[in-house]
Amino acid sequence: MDSQKVYHSIVELLYNVVKNDKLKYWILRDLEYRQQAVTLVNDLITLEKEHDAKYKDEQWSTTFAKAIVIITDTKLRFERLNDRSVEKMYQDYSDFIAYSNKNFDTNRLELEHNNLPFTSETVLLDARITPQKVAHYDEEELKKKEAKLKEEESRKKTEEYNQQQWGAAGAGANAGQTQADQQAYNQAENMFESVMQNMPQPPTQDPRFYPYKTKPKWMPTFKIVLGVIVIISAIILIAANAWASATTFTLSDSLDKIGNAQLQEAMMKWHLNDVQNGQIVQGTKTIADINNVKFHLDTTQGTGFMMVFTYILYAIPAIYLGFICFSKPKNTIQKYRVGYGALIFTIIFFAITIVQIYHYANPHELQSTWDKFFNKYFDKSDGYSTTLVNEWWNGMEDVYPVKGICAFMDVALAFLSLTIVMCLVTCFLNPKQDRQKIALANAEYQRAVMAAYQGHKYNMSPELFDDEDGAVLRPKSKFSLWLESKFKKKPKTPKEDNSKSDNDSDDKKDKNK
């Protein structure tokens, strides 16, 4: 966490406190609150000594120490804190704001930011609080306590009266108990509704929350390039496989096209193997008898539904990663980052694809599959030899587009490899998590939840959230607030709502009559 930013935040907070009469009064009266203010000044001293922190080229710890002494009219001890991390000092800053918000009903934004220039002289002048102000706030607190005592007495009298009524009611005791249960249920329901109204949204669910350290400006362009490459890779891969699948032949037709009479005469005599009593023996069928069986250049390639299914599998990574790269980002996370799930899925899928189609890129690899095919399915008598198989394959390369398909597969492999490399680079260059910001967001959310359960509303630090352009949110100016008050549609007052409901009930009564 940046020590200079923490120093600036504490200085602005203390000045906002010094110029607020109500908070000065509570520093005077509330010893815990006073000690928190002293701790903030000690944090300033520590930041100045250990980090050479300054605000507008000045160091302010002495000024604010004098200001707190003026407010309290008491001798106080200020000192440098040992073994104090910047994170703990920022925690002191957040705790002070939370305490002010909870106990003194202050606006967080008024405490956090200051747009007015100030000097040491103005701080010391603003720190003075007149006896009249102190007496005014004392009187207000006394009135609040008296009102609270009266309310407590009224509640006790009501409870005593209800107990007397329930004791004398006799037969109506059950009805009274039912009414009390209903009242308790209504109170619990109202309390639950109040808590849910004040319950904040977790920062991690807010689209303005960006939990990473950097925002690479090149990432949106890089994502487009990555999306184009992965789509091109899939298109070339499917096209190359389609070309290879479209190249079909029978063994008899291939011999006819090669046009080598001696080769054709020799191979047409070869017999297929047959299995009898669990043993492989010479069969009765020759190449001429299987003229209805069509082959692909790759003997292991599937046909029909399996071929279509393979094309769909090839397209899935391109659709998945392409959608992520080209879809409009809904937040800054999607704008400056690519999810690891999509990247790893694409890497694994394309790596498996490369292993599967590698033999397509080399005519010699294809030839080896045919060597295994002939060696497995044909009898070794009747003039069978690997020399004739090699001669047949050489003729196949001349009459079928074997070399063209292999070259196309080489291009597909190059694009697949390029996609994998780009995905690996993206994994490495993706913004790293800002653990301090995430920890701060969790702490702020816990404070907001606790405040909601106590019936208060807690505003989380706006520094956690970014606006649409990535800038940290700041409070609205007075001019913007004035425009909103003038031109924003005013909500209906409770009187208007009540009068409207009364009119509706009157109309219903008239209809019933």
Domain locations in the chain as residue ranges: 3-132, 218-429, 436-470
Q: Could you read off the pLDDT tens digit of each residue along the chain, which spans 513 residues?
A: 788 888 988 998 899 998 888 898 888 888 898 999 999 999 999 999 888 888 888 899 999 999 999 998 888 889 988 888 888 898 888 889 888 888 887 877 778 776 678 888 888 988 888 888 888 888 888 788 777 777 777 777 676 666 665 655 544 545 555 555 556 555 555 555 555 555 667 877 777 888 888 888 999 999 999 999 999 999 999 998 888 888 888 888 888 888 777 787 778 877 777 655 555 555 667 777 777 777 777 655 555 567 778 888 889 999 999 999 998 888 888 888 898 999 999 999 999 988 888 877 778 888 888 888 888 878 777 677 788 888 888 888 888 888 888 888 899 999 999 999 999 999 998 998 888 888 888 888 888 777 777 767 777 777 777 764 444 444 455 555 555 565 544 444 444 444 444 555 455 445 444
pLDDT at 490: 47
Calpha distance 287→381 (Å, rounded) = 14
pLDDT at 480: 59
Calpha distance 508→12 (Å, rounded) = 59
> How large is the greatest C-alpha to C-alpha distance in the chain, in angstroms?
124
pLDDT at 497: 47
Question: Which residues are within 8 A (CB) of 359 and not within 5 positions of it... i.e. 6 or more apart?
Answer: 298, 365, 366, 368, 369
Calpha distance 68→41 (Å, rounded) = 9
How is the chain split among helix, strand and coil, in percent rounded to 5? 70, 5, 25
Consecutive H or E run containing 249: strand 248-249
SS3 state of residue 317:
helix
DSSP per position, 256-308? HHHT-HHHHHHHTTPEEEEEETTEEEEEEEEGGGGTT--EESSTT---THHHH
pLDDT at 258: 82
Consecutive H or E run containing 16: helix 3-18
